[in-house]
Amino acid sequence: MAAMKSALSKDQEKQLLSLLGRVKLHLLHKASIHGFTADVFHRHCDSQGPTVIVAYNAAGFIYGAYTSKDYTQGGNGVNDEKTFLYSISAERNKPLRVAAISGQCAFTDGGTGPNYGALVFLHDNKPEVQSNPGTGFNFQAADMHGNDLTLTEFEVYRVEDLEDLLPKAWRNIEWTAEKKQQLMKAILNYKPDIKTVHQARVLLVGPIGAGKSSFFNSINSAFRGNMTSQAIAGTAGASVTTQFRTYTIKAGKGGCVVPLILCDTMGLEENGGLDIEDLVNIYKGHIKDRYQFSTSGPILTDAPGYKKHVTLSDRIHCVVYVVDTCKVSILSQKVLEKLCAIRRKTNQLGIPQLLLMTKVDEACPLVAEDLKNVYRSFYIQKKARELSESLGIPLSCILPVKNYSEELDLDQDTDILLFGAVQQMLNFADSFFENQAESQEGNDQMELYRSSDISRPDYREQKEHQII
């Protein structure tokens, strides 16, 4: 299925938001992808709370209806004082807003397309609108839709209040150059407590388009001191990443190696995508770098990409789920079930887990204005709590971050969030190593690193100018 993207231009979205207030729009339904029928409309839009319809025609009009009530197919007339019809046209400086006629119901909640009396969308399950001015709402047809009732596109958005900033941050962050430097040095000085393991291996798992590859590119850029694009990233209807990839990071061009390996996988999809058996083989270190995932099934033990003999260095030491903050409210039930199944399997294998909330600046305008608002944003905190409840992940294990996407220069606040996330990954990897130590207690084969005289790479001996 093609990637679902809003057809609204920036100016059109701005005009629509001027009618709705401080809200976030989540695209639920797009008829050019899902179909111009009442059945699929209700499948995607019933019981979603406040929604706004956005209808497009060839005359250049964008018009529709807002309601604060649920669609339920109850068959009754629904009263909603907040409901209104609207129209946006390049010929007008401001959008047209039409309130319901006093005493009349806002819409009929049936099994047909959205029926607001004066406007009936998806009429007869076609890309058409029936226009009946004076039925529930009064308007001039030419002003509302230019007398063009054929739809070129039909979208429905969930409308969610952003609210204001919290009076106090729910996490305290130092947004200083000194803090950034401190985090970098702590990461570069990290050493696992297992003598044969020199780098923590962290696996990124998440839905397609969540920002796994972009996260690696962002971390790599922050350490390199300039923008990089080593991992293939982008937006598509299917996973951009089709191979298992392991990435090392260097501090500066030609600089020291960061004691962290980030591993990237195929994105999770409702149907297909990453196979959980392949995931288990990755956890156990059996899948080689650049293995091409197969849609026909998990890797076989005799396949060229299967590594039979593995060490603790090959295993995954921490799993990080990556979720697009903009899509937390509309994650499909199938994707949530896959994430929960993966989490259960990961728990069984004793691997610590974190969750990254990406695109926080796109999710909340207050964070877009100033990234320092990330832990004062009511909306970001709300999304973090939703993820915690739906996936059973403690709130303390959920970290908001911003990836580099359109920037050409590095940003100190962005780097601080990124480095803070990496530090937590290393802390959680330490927990994995400690569990290995406990399980090996009393075993002569135990490979614990307990002495400073063990020969191993020393990342602290690198030149200071490489830490920028």
Q: What pLDDT score does 318 carry?
A: 98
- pLDDT-derived band at 163, boundaries 50, 70, 90: confident
Higher pLDDT, 2 or 37: 37
- pLDDT-derived band at 57, boundaries 50, 70, 90: very high
CATH 3.40.50.300 is held by the domain 177-466: yes
Task: Give me the mean pLDDT over the 25-53 stretch.
Answer: 96
Q: What pLDDT score does 435 carry?
A: 87
Q: Supply 292's token pair.
A: 């091409």
Secondary structure E strands in 198-255 = 200-205, 243-251
Give the C-alpha separation, 105 to 93, whole Å. Answer: 30
Number of H helices, E strands in the chain: 12, 17
Give the list of residues 6+ apart from residue 95 with CB closer than 8 angstroms, or none.
15, 16, 18, 19, 86, 87, 88
Q: What pLDDT score does 255 carry?
A: 81
Residue 71 φ/ψ, nearest 5 degrees: -85, 130
Which helix (H) or strand (E) is 40 found in, with range?
Answer: helix 38-45
Question: 14 forms bridges with which residues in the sheet?
Answer: none
Cβ pair 259, 190 in contact under 8 A: yes
Q: Supply 174's token pair.
A: 């130092």
DSSP type of residue 267: P
Give the least confident one: 205-214, 280-289, 292-301.
Answer: 292-301
- Domain boundaries of the chain, sorted by first residue: 10-161, 177-466
Q: What pLDDT score does 382 carry?
A: 94
Q: Would the pLDDT of 190 be above 80? A: yes
- pLDDT-derived band at 86, boundaries 50, 70, 90: very high
Higher pLDDT, 202 or 195: 202
Task: Give me the mean pLDDT over the 427-432 stretch.
Answer: 95
Give the least confident one: 103-112, 268-277, 367-376.
Answer: 268-277
Higher pLDDT, 6 or 302: 6
Task: Give me the mean pLDDT over the 335-341 stretch.
Answer: 93
Q: What pLDDT score does 195 carry?
A: 85
Helices assigned H by DSSP within 153-275: 177-188, 212-224
Q: What pLDDT score does 450 carry?
A: 44
Q: Would the pLDDT of 42 be above 50? A: yes
Q: What pLDDT score does 240 carry?
A: 53
Q: Would the pLDDT of 445 be above 70? A: no
Note the pTM of the prediction, 2 decimals: 0.78
Q: Would the pLDDT of 356 be above 60? A: yes
- pLDDT-derived band at 447, boundaries 50, 70, 90: very low
- pLDDT-derived band at 236, boundaries 50, 70, 90: very low
Q: What pLDDT score does 173 carry?
A: 95
* Count of CB atoms situated within 10 Å of the CB of 58: 10
- pLDDT-derived band at 375, boundaries 50, 70, 90: very high
Cβ pair 5, 26 in contact under 8 A: no
Q: What pLDDT score does 39 carry?
A: 97
Q: Would the pLDDT of 184 be above 90? A: yes
Instruction: Please measure the distance between the N-terminal and C-terminal CA atoms of the chain and give it in whole angstroms.
Output: 43
Q: What pLDDT score does 463 carry?
A: 39
Secondary structure E strands in 265-368 = 291-292, 318-324, 353-358
